[in-house]
A and B are shown apart, each in its own frame.
Chain A
Amino acid sequence: MTSEEIREAVRNILADIAPDEDLSDLKEDVAFRDQLELDSMDFLDIVMELRKRYRVQIPEEDYLELASMQSTVAYLEPIMKDM
């Protein structure tokens, strides 16, 4: 997957777990938590959806890498590049 495809995949997951949010103005370098109403259960949903949809396993110590769109895409690129 290209970085743009990964970005779109993450955006689709966010749209499902935060269905009341407007994602059109989502800023790349700002933490999801600072611009969306997300809590720890929602972050676990992001991890679970990546596992379910793409079989990507994210170890707990790497959860902080999912803070923003920019950091998430950067983290997932090497993992998902061959998908």
Chain B
Amino acid sequence: MVAVRPDEQRIVITGIGLAAPNGNSLGEYRENLLEGRSGVSDYEIRYFGKTLAGICDFDALKYQRRKEIRRGTRAGSVGIYCSHEAVTDSGIDWDNTDKSRVGIYIGVTEHGNVETENEIYQIKAYDYDTQYWTHHHNPRTVANSPAGEISLNLGITGPHYTIGAACAAGNAGLIQAVQMLRLGECDLALAGGVSESIHTFGIFAGFNSQGALAVNDDPTKASRPFDRDRNGIVVAEGGCIYVVERLSDAKARRAEIYGEVVGYAMNSDASDFVNPNDERQAECIQLALQRAELGAEEIDIVSTHATSTTTGDVQECKALQRIWGDKGGTTALNNTKSFIGHAMGAAGALELAGNLPAFVDRVCHATINLDNIDPECNLPGIVANQPRKLEKVDYILNNSFGMLGINSVVIVGRI
């Protein structure tokens, strides 16, 4: 049984705006997830050269002027696009919403690398003379920048900041919103995660040096979590912002509700810079279940974090086995990175969003590119290559883990 709280303490998702490599709206994204359409394609970036990436094609000019785009950052554009789409989707009377009571909580894996790389590249033409270094550097690279750009564009005067949480950040943004709403720090939140990572050569070169960057002749086959023939991560850009509010407020304005955040947890491995720790991941999942007052068997879909690296995939499977045991019950497992690659700070938020329509259609989208399952990842619940119709979908658990051993888990319930 799920934890029971008064409506003022129950936090629900009432709007979704997203930009994914395979969709610029929840409807398009969900359709492509159900149809097995990848968003990974060939990509080239200076210094590193040819590689693969999940690239978004949303229309930034839909909500920004060209000058704003020039002055700001790609992460800001992603966030602004997603925020507008989320607000529209929520159906809220935005013009009459008190903007001082809106909070912006945006998860990021990193911020500033893209801008710094660009500027160093540009002053190379001036023999690295720093008098040619742009005055836009600081506002573009301050850590709150993507959230601040949303604030500027939408005229939101409540709190805004980013949550730096490596690849656990998408969940972390949502969790922050839940906490702030429960504390009464805001009445409405725009929360989730964004990533502009494909525009820094450093992330590709770094993963490549680590032996963790995917290579494949067919870009759509490159991201293959749990598959024996995987060879690394496909880096993606993207974003997903949720409109989050108290159930009492959502009911009062008769909002359509995607789901309720019934549980969450974050913890730390405290064991390694890069390698995950299945024991700590399992503890994080268990803590989220305890807070939700749910048993593992009550979870219908687990949206896994697996990034298509051997170590990461196997460790997460061990963590899942610690909670669900070897049999797995009726819980279905899927993975969105197999479609879009790893959207870094946006990953957790995007991966949850792609699963939320399952509350309505009871379909668990698949994990694609799973041709030869790694025996160490052969969990009974994995939904391989084709979507699966489930008996019921009442609870979805979303894993998101990151470097330096940061773990986040969100559980959303049907309402």
Contact = CB atoms under 8 A, between A and B. Distances in A.
Given A20-B65, A52-B126, A41 B132 contact: no
Given A19-B67, A41-B71, A41-B135, 19 more contacts: A16-B70, A17-B67, A17-B70, A18-B67, A19-B65, A19-B66, A19-B70, A20-B65, A20-B66, A20-B67, A37-B67, A41-B136, A44-B135, A45-B135, A48-B132, A48-B135, A51-B131, A51-B132, A52-B132
A48 B119 CA distance: 13
A80 B67 CA distance: 28
B134 interface: yes
Interface in A6-21: 16-20
Nearest to B65: A20
A17 B135 CA distance: 13
Contacts of B65: 19-20
A55 B131 CA distance: 11
A44 B67 CA distance: 15
Contacts of A51: 131-132
A19 to B, nearest CB: 4
Nearest to B126: A52
A4 B135 CA distance: 29
**Which range contains the number of A residues in contact with the other chain?**
10 to 19
B277 to A, nearest CB: 45
**Which range contains the number of B residues in contact with the other chain?**
10 to 19
Interface of A: 16-20, 37, 41, 44-45, 48, 51-52
Contacts of A16: 70
Contact of B134 (A19, A20, A37, A48): A48
A37 B132 CA distance: 24
A45 B65 CA distance: 17
Contacts of B134: 48
Contacts of B66: 19-20
Interface in B123-138: 126, 131-132, 134-136
A18 B70 CA distance: 9
B192 to A, nearest CB: 28
Contacts of A52: 126, 132
Interface string B66-78: 1100110000000
B232 to A, nearest CB: 39
Contacts of B71: 41
Nearest to A52: B132
A13 to B, nearest CB: 13
B71 to A, nearest CB: 7
Contacts of A45: 135
Kindly list the 10 A-B residue pairs having the minimum CB-CB distance in the complex, ordered from nearest: A19-B66, A20-B65, A44-B135, A20-B66, A20-B67, A19-B67, A52-B132, A18-B67, A19-B70, A41-B135
Nearest to B66: A19
